[in-house]
Amino acid sequence: MRYALLVTLRSVRIILPLALLAGAAAACGGDEFDSGDPGDKTITVYSGRSESLVAPVLEKFEQQSGMTVKVRYGSTAQMAAQIEEEGDKSPADIFFAQDAGALGAVAKRGLFAPLPSDVLAKVPANYQARSGEWVGVTGRSRVFAYNVDMVPRADLPKSVFDLTGPQWKDKVGVAPTNGSFQAFVTALRVQHGDAKAKEFLTGLKANGALIRESNIQIVQEINDGKLATGLVNHYYVFEQAKEKGITADQMKAKLHFFTGGDTGALVNVAGAGVLKKAATDPDAKALIDYLLSTEGQTYFANETFEYPLVAGVPTAPGLPALDSLAAPKIDLNDLDTLDETVKMIKEAGLA
Amino acid sequence: MASAAAVGLALVPVAYLAVRTGEAGWTRIVDELFTRRVAVLAGRSLALAAVVTSACTAIGVGAAFLVTRTDLPARRFFGVVAALPLAVPTYVAGFAWISTVDRFEGFWPAALVLTLCSYPYVFLPVAAALAGGDPAQEEVSRSLGRGAWRTFASVTLRQVRPSIAAGALLVALYVLSDFGAVSIVRVDTFTRAIFTAFNVGFDRTGALVLSTVLVVLTVLLIGGELTTRARGARYARVGGAGRPPIRLPLRAARWPAAAALTAVAVLALGVPAASLARRLAEGVSRPGSLAEIATAAGNSLAVSLAGALLTMVLALPVGLLTARAPGPLATLLDRLTYVAHALPGVVIGLSLVFFGINVAYPLYQSVWLLALAYATLFLPLAVGAVAGAAAQSPPALEEVARSLGRGPAKVFRTVTLPLTLPGIAAGTALVFLTCMKELPATLLLRPTGMDTLATELWTHTSTASYAAAAPYAALLVGLAAVPTWFLSVRGGA
């Protein structure tokens, strides 16, 4: 026992300085410290959006404003959980999330401050929180993606409800653990009631829906001809075309937008909210303003292929205009009953 | 004292789990846990653990035997190559396989990927034990008329049984906690359900309640291993320079044996390498710059080193206690270090977010809290190495030195330290490379703005920029291969 202690003490004397050195070296990677004071020219952003999509636009903002933006990247669910876990002590000033549901969840916990009216005025009212706690930055439409060699154009479904029919047996890929799919199911419940939504999910499962981990995977498999069709967001086909160095119309995976206000064409947002501690921080407001500026919106339109939400900014070539989409009339604020949706998805055996 | 404190620190996540589960209320717990789905998932997780552990034991022991105890061609080469798959994260391997083989999904493919990535957990300790064991007993067995193969089965295998059991336990616990491979290869296991609950509707409580089942499964596995270990004696080689172990002639099986090891290497290393190369060639996305890659690599090395060293500081008292003062207390402390080992990284991450915010705020989002997460996750790896090394240096040597008039400090410096140092170094290397591969806890706990190779890899694959991800993956595997190589060389293979 004495030896144990002795060896430990000895080794600690050798190891601890080394550990401190390693820690110090690693700390250099994190560099500047955000004092958290308003107007200190430093803000901390928790981003549920990917670094490769968001970092360039934040860097531009830093250059123009002379501010330092510290960004924490993770999945939207992970960042929302982290903010809720941190509560009032969260180092975050801004939460930039990938769907309205996550923003709603954080708003429900009372962690967001209401945004100034001039910020909210920039974006149509249907793409922001009713009580002004978050604002949409870009739009993303749900689509039916299909492999052009495997599905003739004439056979494309009129409504998402057609997908439970025999002609789509074992052909439809879905990602039920993905936030966008869940928002779509919540929209189904809002638009058609719980009974019909449940019937659809059970029908989808019984029809041999193919469960995938992510939208990316679905689009990739469709493009490779391993999967015929799938329910995804519109921009993945463009992202993958970019990775392959081709244009979207050279891809085997094509987009079909449902029409006539079908729930399958739900338009959700990626958006941002300001946490309470930064309610009056001009720096935080400056960043939100930049994301909604012509320059910020143009970046998203051309680089992430999402729909700009501020009037006067054109969408990426190859995409139908946002106002030409026959999106269902659904209030994004009503998409905050995620618990019920999740329960339903689980009960249907999709997750 | 020191041991208890170290173990206490490692149990922070478990305490958090208990608190949060308690808050959830009894009805919620019953609702979440006593469902058919939970039973199915638990059954599947256990089945996967059983299959992978058996396969890893077969491959690990077989390979260790071939490289240490036979006249296999290119023994040293195979000794290193057989250990290298430890450097491949399961998410990289899983991804490589699904993009190489069509319809690669479900239970058996997941078992294959997990086996290929984790059999070195058995191979390394068994190879070390086989190389370092005292041949005296085998010689006795041979002289009493037993044949070479019977001696191996009845004497040698029994000698290394503790190493086999320890390695198998690590594999089993690893399989329970793995998310990377099972999510990519699409098999529903318990840990995947925990991640899903967490991602679906931000349901932290549901995820945490489910995690308690993993703790129970872990305790059962630990109990199981304990019964095999209790009967395993230590076989230290006392005094003198070691004699080389007896090598058996393989005769006609020489080349088939080499071919079998080559096949394992091709599956475990060749498939990921080929897939990375293809991704790089096909895509047009590129990582930002060399500086970015270098920074990520530097960060990976620094946080992993901090994690490995902190883990070792905590492991030393526990390991030495187990080796020098074995008894119920030491056993209990040693076993407790395993409890957090089978928890998914996301649970460890969240619990330390809570701990950092409420108890240790100055440490929150600092490298230290991340290092602590690594320590709670990987403590058993280090404890095992220290205990193993200390057990191989018999206390009698220290007692003799003392009786000859040397003071305790000098005995420590001249006897204990030289004997245990290799074990400490090996444990540190093992923890270090495991830290490099860790992702979920790193995402939650890293300092804001700090990227590591694993987080960059995650970033790029989540936007389908596979070509940009490839260099990070290659570098991650390459850097993790260095400590792996050290481990295999040290193992005497």
Per-position DSSP letters for B353-422, written without gaps between them: HHHHHHT-GGGTTSHHHHHHHHHHHHHHHHHHHHHHHHHHS-HHHHHHHHHTT--HHHHIIIIIHHHHHH
**A134-147 and A229-233 as β-strands: parallel, antiparallel, unpaired?**
antiparallel
- Inter-chain Cβ pairs, chain A and chain B, closer than 8 A: 206
Q: Is A26 close to B295, i.e. CB distance below 8 A?
A: no
Q: Which residues of B touch A182 (CB under 8 A)?
A: 200-201
Rounded Cα distance between B201 and A178, Å, is 9
Are B10 and B314 in contact, with CB atoms under 8 Å apart? yes
Q: Is A73 close to B466, i.e. CB distance below 8 A?
A: no
Q: Is A71 close to B371, i.e. CB distance below 8 A?
A: no
Q: What is the pLDDT of residue A32?
A: 46
Show the domains of chain A with their CATH numbers. Answer: 42-139+268-319 (3.40.190.10), 140-266+337-347 (3.40.190.10)
Q: Which residue has the tokens 């460890």?
A: B348
Measure B379 CA to nearest chain A CA, in Å: 15
Rounded Cα distance between A276 and A92, Å, is 10
Q: Considering CB atoms only, which of A30, A85, A214 is closest to B449?
A: A30
Integer CA distances (angstroms), B322 to B93, B169, B335, B388, in order: 35, 17, 10, 9
Q: Is B291 on the interface with A (CB under 8 A)?
A: no
Q: Which residues of B touch A339 (CB under 8 A)?
A: 201, 203
Q: What is the pLDDT of residue A20?
A: 56
Q: Which residues of A touch B354 (CB under 8 A)?
A: 85
Q: Considering CB atoms only, which of A51, A243, A339 is closest to B201?
A: A339
Q: Considering CB atoms only, which of B200, B303, B305 is closest to A177?
A: B200
Q: What are phi and psi of A40, to 5 degrees?
A: -90, 10
Measure B49 CA to nearest chain A CA, in Å: 22
CA of B183: which chain A residue's CA is closest?
A: A213
Instruction: List the one residue out of A180, A203, A200, A179 whose CA is nearest residue A189.
Output: A200
Q: Is A52 close to B460, i.e. CB distance below 8 A?
A: yes
User: What would you report as the CA-atom Rg of chain B, rounded to the nearest whole angstrom?
Assistant: 23
Whether the per-residue pLDDT at B240 is higher than 50: the answer is no
Length of chain A, please? Answer: 351
Instruction: List the one residue out of B346, B290, B341, B291 whose CA is nearest residue B458.
Output: B346
Q: What is the pLDDT of residue A204?
A: 95
- Residue ranges per domain, chain B? 2-235+257-490
Are B389 and B348 in contact, with CB atoms under 8 Å apart? no
Measure A8 CA to nearest chain B CA, in Å: 6
A29: buried, middle or exposed (CB in 10 Å: 19+, 13-18, 0-12)? Answer: buried
Contacts 24+ apart (CB under 8 A), A128-133: A128/A271, A129/A103, A129/A104, A129/A273, A129/A333, A130/A331, A130/A333, A131/A107, A133/A103, A133/A107, A133/A273
Q: Which residues of A touch B309 (CB under 8 A)?
A: 15-16, 18-19, 22
Interface test with B, best of A182, A201, A336, A346 (most B CBs within 10 A): A346
Q: What are phi and psi of B70, to 5 degrees?
A: -135, 175
Measure B204 CA to nearest chain A CA, in Å: 7
Give the tokens for residue A183: 């928002």
Rounded Cα distance between A34 and A120, Å, is 27
CA of B448: which chain A residue's CA is closest?
A: A72
Are A115 and A135 in contact, with CB atoms under 8 Å apart? yes
3-state secondary structure of B150: helix
Q: What is the dihedral of CA A45, A50, A54, A59, to 10 degrees?
A: 70
**A267-275 and A134-147 as β-strands: parallel, antiparallel, unpaired?**
antiparallel
Q: B398 vs B441, which has greater pLDDT?
A: B441
Q: Is B365 on the interface with A (CB under 8 A)?
A: yes
Integer CA distances (angstroms), A133 to A101, A105, A330, B174, B208, in order: 13, 11, 18, 42, 29
Measure A45 CA to nearest chain B CA, in Å: 9
Whether the per-residue pLDDT at B38 is higher than 80: the answer is yes
Measure B440 CA to nearest chain A CA, in Å: 9
Are B211 and B343 in contact, with CB atoms under 8 Å apart? yes
Q: Is A26 close to B450, i.e. CB distance below 8 A?
A: yes
Tell me the average pLDDT across B252-281.
89
Q: Which residues of B touch A214 (CB under 8 A)?
A: 462
Q: Is B460 on the interface with A (CB under 8 A)?
A: yes
State the Cα angle at B262 between B258 and B266, rounded to 5°.
175
Q: Is B465 close to A176, i.e. CB distance below 8 A?
A: no
Percent residues over pLDDT 90 in chain B: 23
Q: What are phi and psi of B179, to 5 degrees?
A: -115, -40
**Which residues fall within 8 angstroms of residue A76, CB to CB, at 6 or more apart?**
A48, A49, A97, A98, A99, A102, A179
Rounded Cα distance between B119 and A306, Å, is 45
Q: Is B450 close to A70, i.e. CB distance below 8 A?
A: no
Q: Considering CB atoms only, which of A85, A244, A338 is closest to B357?
A: A85
Q: Which residues of A touch B353 (CB under 8 A)?
A: 82, 85-86
Whether the per-residue pLDDT at B241 is higher than 50: the answer is no
Interface test with B, best of A9, A11, A219 (most B CBs within 10 A): A11
CB atoms within 10 A of CB A324: 10
Would you give the end-to-end CA distance of chain A in angstroms? 51
Instruction: List the one residue out of B461, B460, B456, B454 whose CA is nearest residue B440.
Output: B454
Q: What is the pLDDT of residue B288?
A: 67
Over chain B, what is the mean pLDDT?
84
Sequence-ordered strand ranges (E) for A78-176: 94-97, 112-113, 134-147, 172-174
Rounded Cα distance between B304 and A72, Å, is 19
Q: What are phi and psi of A67, to 5 degrees?
A: -90, 165
Q: Which residues of B touch A51 (CB under 8 A)?
A: 451, 459
Q: Considering CB atoms only, which of A78, A177, A351 is closest to B444?
A: A78
Find the range with the poorest average confidence among B266-275, B359-368, B426-435: B359-368
Q: Is B318 on the interface with A (CB under 8 A)?
A: no
| Interfacial B residues in 26-45 facing A (CB < 8 Å) | 37
Q: Is A29 close to B449, i.e. CB distance below 8 A?
A: yes
Q: Considering CB atoms only, which of B199, B285, B368 is closest to A75?
A: B199
Q: B412 vs B473, which has greater pLDDT?
A: B473
Q: Is B313 close to A12, i.e. CB distance below 8 A?
A: yes
pLDDT per residue over A237-255, tens digit each? 998 898 888 988 899 999 9
Q: What is the pLDDT of residue B242?
A: 58
Report CA torsion sign: A106, A107, A109, A111. positive
Would you give the end-to-end CA distance of chain B in angstroms? 37
Give the tokens for residue B234: 């230590």
Whether the per-residue pLDDT at B233 is higher than 60: the answer is no
Q: Which residues of B touch A52 (CB under 8 A)?
A: 285, 459-460, 463, 465, 468
Instruction: List the one residue out of A170, A172, A171, A200 whose CA is nearest residue A185.
Output: A200
pLDDT per residue over B278-326, tens digit each? 888 877 667 667 888 899 999 999 999 999 999 998 998 888 888 777 7
Measure A71 CA to nearest chain B CA, in Å: 5
Q: Is B371 on the interface with A (CB under 8 A)?
A: yes
Q: Which residues of A touch B320 (CB under 8 A)?
A: 3-4, 7-8
Phi-psi region of A224 (alpha: psi -120 to 50; beta: other; left: phi over 0): alpha
CB atoms within 10 A of CB A230: 26
Give the tokens for residue A238: 């463009």
Are A204 and A166 in contact, with CB atoms under 8 Å apart? no
Interface test with A, best of B3, B199, B424, B466 (most A CBs within 10 A): B199
Longest dimension (CA), chain A: 82
Identify the architecture of domain B2-235+257-490 in CATH: Orthogonal Bundle (1.10)
Rounded Cα distance between A66 and B166, Å, is 55
Q: What are phi and psi of A340, to 5 degrees?
A: -65, -45
Instruction: List the one residue out of A225, A117, A112, A227 whose CA is nearest residue A171.
Output: A227
Q: How high is the ipTM of this complex?
A: 0.73
pLDDT per residue over B151-181, tens digit each? 887 888 887 888 888 889 999 999 998 888 8
Q: Is A216 close to B324, i.e. CB distance below 8 A?
A: no
Q: Considering CB atoms only, which of B2, B444, B448 is closest to A30?
A: B448
Phi-psi region of B406 (alpha: psi -120 to 50; beta: other; left: phi over 0): beta
Residue segments in chain A with a per-residue pLDDT below the cut of 70: 1-36
Are A135 and A310 in contact, with CB atoms under 8 Å apart? no
Q: Is A11 close to B424, i.e. CB distance below 8 A?
A: yes
| Interfacial B residues in 218-277 facing A (CB < 8 Å) | none
Q: What is the pLDDT of residue B341?
A: 83
Q: Is B447 close to A211, i.e. CB distance below 8 A?
A: no
Instruction: List the one residue out of B327, B436, B338 whose CA is nearest residue B381.
Output: B338
Instruction: List the one residue out of B359, B373, B489 whose CA is nearest residue B425.
Output: B489
CA of A304: which chain B residue's CA is closest?
A: B463
Instruction: List the one residue out of A171, A309, A164, A154 whose CA is nearest residue A230.
Output: A171
